[in-house]
């Protein structure tokens, strides 16, 4: 991460106000309105909060586990997608890739991002198998799984259900690193 970290939504001028950021532990201290902030790659003002604090989950975010046999990876929400790709390649790939590798895992879930293969793979949330969520009104972490109402509200929920702390994601195996190409010359008749 550069020393010029953005704390403003993508497409807005300036770097935002880093003095408004607080560490994730602040969620348990009740410092007034707070909103999780990833990499600032969302369009518009989705990660802007007037009169409140942004919870920056990127510092100290790590990948906890990658199991190639089951095709699952567990990481903190602040881990960039580029880091996930670097860890699972060349044997696996993320099933849905948005237009930027700089988005965070938590941001990809909170926005339920899509890729160029959306028409047949669906969106990012379809491959999330577990979310660890922190809320200001509940002591401790909440473990969410597909089929739970709060899981459904969190995937694509833009951070409104709480702060995604960690997630487990299913990744796809890659058959090989070779690419098969087929070219057909057009007829000029």
In this prediction the pTM is 0.78
Asked whether the predicted pLDDT for residue 30 surpasses 60, the reply is no
Distances (CA, A) of 145 to 2, 32, 142: 34, 28, 10
142 φ, ψ (degrees, to nearest 5): -115, 125
For the chain, where are the E strands, in sequence order? Answer: 21-22, 34-37, 53-56, 63-67, 72-76, 92-93, 128-134, 141-144, 163-170, 172-173
Among 97, 108, 64, residue whose Cα is nearest residue 174: 97
Q: Which residues share a beta bridge with 132?
A: 143, 166
- Residue 69 contacts by C-beta under 8 Å, 6 or more apart in sequence? none
Q: How open is the CA angle 84-111-59, to the nearest 5 degrees?
A: 50
Q: How confident is the model at residue 2 (pLDDT cuts 50, 70, 90)?
A: very low
- Is pLDDT larger for residue 80 or for residue 18? 80
Q: Regarding predicted confidence, which is higher, 41 or 89?
A: 89
Q: Which residue has the higher pLDDT, 80 or 57?
A: 80
**C-alpha angle 151-118-162 in degrees, rounded to nearest 5:** 25
Helix (H) or strand (E) holding 152: helix 149-154
| Runs of H (alpha helix) within 47-112 | 81-88, 105-110
pLDDT digits (tens, 9 = 90+) for 13-28: 444 555 555 555 555 5
Percent of the chain with pLDDT over 70: 74
C-alpha 187/C-alpha 189 separation (Å) is 6
Which residues are paired to 81 by β-bridges? none
How many angstroms separate the Cα of 110 from the Cα of each of 3, 91, 184?
A: 25, 27, 42
Instruction: Please calculate the CA angle 3-166-30 and round it to the nearest 5 degrees.
Output: 75
Lowest mean pLDDT among 41-45, 46-50, 123-127, 136-140: 41-45
pLDDT of residue 60: 85
Residue 97: predicted pLDDT: 85
């Amino acid at each position: 991460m550069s020393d010029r970290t953005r704390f403003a939504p993508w497409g807005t001028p300036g770097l935002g106000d880093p003095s408004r950021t607080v560490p994730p532990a602040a969620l348990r201290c009740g410092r007034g309105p707070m909103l999780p902030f990833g990499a600032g790659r969302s369009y518009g003002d989705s990660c802007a909060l007037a009169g409140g604090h942004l919870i920056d989950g990127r510092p100290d975010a790590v990948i906890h586990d990658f199991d190639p046999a089951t095709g699952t990876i567990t990481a903190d929400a602040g881990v960039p997608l580029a880091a996930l790709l670097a860890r699972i390649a060349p044997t696996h790939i993320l099933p849905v890739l948005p237009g930027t590798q700089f988005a965070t895992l938590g941001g990809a879930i909170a926005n339920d991002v899509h890729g160029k293969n959306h028409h047949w793979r669906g969106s990012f949330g379809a491959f999330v198998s577990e979310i660890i969520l922190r809320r200001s009104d509940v002591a401790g972490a909440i473990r969410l799984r597909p089929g739970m109402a709060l899981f459904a509200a969190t995937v694509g929920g833009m951070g409104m259900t709480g702060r995604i702390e960690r997630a487990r994601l299913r990744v796809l195996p890659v058959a090989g690193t070779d690419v098969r190409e087929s070219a057909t010359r057009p007829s000029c008749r």
